[in-house]
Structure 1
């Protein structure tokens, strides 16, 4: 199969947008479909991007915009629930010495930067569109879309997220499993003097933390045991998060004052997923959250998705046939990188659920993140 064959990317999140940009740069024709009409342009509050994520964003050509829009910092702190700083630790520079250790930014701003780059790439984008059927043969994939049109592709890249419809459609039965924890998130103004992520362990929640996302903003989060989502009316989201957060001191005293709009508060469970064996069936391949996801305890979810896009694009544009061997190589390169992240992210949460007091969380994080300094 020629490496100039047309590609369909299903899903316009970080992974789908990134692989589209990289394939278009290499001259590959790409159609991108996204189920939401708004392309997720306003979804989410904030995101923490470690160096290995920034490395891919630089590869995409958007690092300068990310740098200008976000807030870079080099350490994280651990505080008591009352806000007393217990210790601060330098973040690991997983992207190399020429990039910050970490950048926090508003998630909608990152999405808009990627949307603009996809548009500029010349990809053919269809919003509010899904793939209704996928029919494969030895030469490619025939796709029928929700708008009644059809397309023929040499490869389909499924980047349609945690609850990927494409994953199920190609016969992969793995599904995300809840870990037992959940997170409340909300944006807020950044208090003066808040210049890094700080985490408080204990109190009424497992974790209460925040991350600066620009010169003026942050996102705050509180982690607790998951509850039946149906039992929490959305109009009470701000009250629920504020009830938990107001037990914490330090910068939380000011942050809590701004947790008032339930529409700006997000509540989600932590899930775990790691598809084993391979991430493809024929000419359809999974990337990003469609193939793996983990709790944000190591802040590596977006980074792993962006790395997927980079590695897959590298393989697809290297002059080889897009065959089973290439897609299996993609899986094997990625699984040895992703598995430790998923397992460690889940372990950190499990220690808290089990009440383990002497867990070596710093050691586990260091052992897991340090190898990410190597290229994926």
Structure 2
């Protein structure tokens, strides 16, 4: 039996915990946040993400709690929110799965946490790792609750500003792309049955995605602004003003936009760790290793793919060593890097108002790439 510590219980950490524990590994998970504090607004899961969730045997729960769709709409930022294009979306997970699905992030987190515990992973919330000591046989880890344990493998799935990555001494510059995004969750108007995007107008993109029978996730992407010192009510007013510039279903969405606790604002960030993602028997996955702006809606999907590939390779190996971890990175880095670069390319085009953009071609290349099983 392989003993594994997973640092972080987000999408990547929960997924790798499920896959490893189901395969017979002894898995501990530590998560800095309390169990009840799963945060975030919504997430758009493309077909390859749904394929990974099916492989983790949580698809039935995901399907019951999310909202699937097979088409995508493009609307004009005009007085009517005119539909310009309605097209079939690529079924990157296969013909028997929806092209895409919207979910509330806390709901997805709960499904993954419950699945991990059901197959035997032990999750400790409100707990962090605060020390790593390498040896030839693995890694000893000390924790904030005063305990210490030894593991054959430690997986850093602790996000963009990964403590694990910094503790390993891996230098990686996370760059801001120059864009910021307003997000909200709210009631779903009957007219919202798929992802729809408005390009241009008061912002770069205004869009929405249904996340359930009665809920949606909506967002507006603008040039990055510093709202650090804005009050919650001031932030709400900014999003209301932006939303007022868009119509069609946005008119109904805006009418419900009254609760400042339902919105958040973040900047787009990006990085890719070239070379090794591991030091000794500690390896990084998900946003700790590669982070892409959400312009191609692949961040969660790439984290899920990392988790499945790493678990597959670890469970098949006689021992966890450099050869296994190097092979994992060789298998995952090229694909993750292409996704990040595509996401950044779209950001650059929009920021520069480049008249020669070809967003459909970039999206098509990403769809073709992720249709292939990693």
Q: Which of the five TM-score ranges fits, normalised by the shorter chain?
A: over 0.9
1:50 to 36, 41, 46: 46
TM-score computed with the length of structure 2 as normaliser: 0.97
1:119 alignment partner, one of 117, 121, 138: 117
Measured in 1, the distance between the counterparts of 2:116 and 2:12 equals: 12
- Counterpart secondary structure, 2:313: helix
Q: TM-score, normalised by structure 1?
A: 0.97
Q: Is the 8 A contact 2:52 2:305 kept in 1?
A: yes
| Residues in 2 aligned to 1:185 and 1:349: alpha-carbon distance in whole angstroms | 17
Q: Is 2:222 the partner of 1:224?
A: yes
Shift of 1:237: 2.1
1:77: how far off? 1.1
1: CA distance between counterparts of 2:173 and 2:274? 11
Deviation of 1:188 after TM superposition, in Å, equals: 1.5
- How far did 1:231 drift? 3.8
Contact 2:159-2:286 at 8 Å conserved across structures = yes
Specify the alignment match of 1:157 in structure 2.
Answer: 155
Is the CA contact 2:187–2:214 (under 8 Å) kept in the aligned structure 1?
yes
Equivalent residues of 1:12, 1:39 under 8 A apart = no
Aligned to 2:348: 350
Q: How big is the shift at 1:320? A: 3.0
Q: In 2, are the aligned partners of 1:197 and 1:209 still within 8 Å (CA)?
A: yes
Equivalent position of 1:62 in the other structure: 58
**Residue among 250, 253, 278 paired with 1:255:** 253
**RMSD of equivalent CA atoms:** 1.1
Q: Distance in 1 between matches of 2:359 and 2:6?
A: 37
- Which residue in 1 is equivalent to 2:329? 331
Matched, 1:307 2:309: no
Aligned-partner Cα distance in 1 for 2:148–2:249: 54
Asked whether the equivalents of residues 19 and 310 of structure 1 are also in contact (C-alpha less than 8 Å), the reply is yes
Q: Structure 1 residues 333, 369: closer, same or farther in 2, change over 3 A?
A: same
* Residue pair 2:186, 2:262 contacting (<8 A) in 1 also: no
Q: Distance in 1 between matches of 2:126 and 2:233?
A: 27
Q: Number of aligned pairs?
A: 372
Q: CA deviation at 1:40?
A: 4.1
CA distance in 2, matches of 1:45, 1:368: 24
For residues 224-258 of structure 1, the C-alpha deviation after alignment (integer angstroms, 9 at most, x for no partner) is 01112324333422211111111101000000111
Partner of 2:284: 286
Q: 2:129, 2:226 → 1: CA distance?
A: 31
SS in 2 for 1:256: helix
* Cα shift at 1:99: 0.8
1:90-239 map, 5 Å: 90-239=88-237
How far apart, CA to CA, are the structure 2 residues paired with 1:298 and 1:129?
33
Per the alignment, residue 21 of structure 1 pairs with: 18
Deviation sequence 1:44-98 (CA, Å, 0-9, x none): 1111001110011001111011111111111111111121011122211110111
**Gap regions ≥5 residues in structure 1:** none
**Per-residue deviation at 1:5?**
2.4
| Residue 6 of structure 2: aligned partner | 9
Unaligned runs of 5+ in 2: none
Residue 175 of structure 1 deviates from its aligned partner by 3.1
Paired residue secondary structure (1:61): coil
1:85 matched to 2:83:
yes
Using the TM superposition, give the Cα deviation of residue 38 of structure 1 relative to its aligned residue in structure 2, in angstroms: 2.5
CA contact (8 A) 1:56 1:310 kept: yes
Query: Cα offset for 1:39?
Result: 5.8
The equivalences for 1:24-43 within 5 A come to 24-38=21-35, 40-41=37-38, 43=39
Q: Are the equivalent residues in 2 in contact too, given 1:163–1:175 (CA < 8 A)?
A: no
Cα contact 2:205–2:221 (8 A) shared by 1: yes
**Residues of 1 paired with 2:257 and 2:191: CA distance?**
19
Contact 1:40/1:111, CA 8 A, preserved across alignment = no
Conservation of the 8 A alpha-carbon contact between 2:227 and 2:235? no
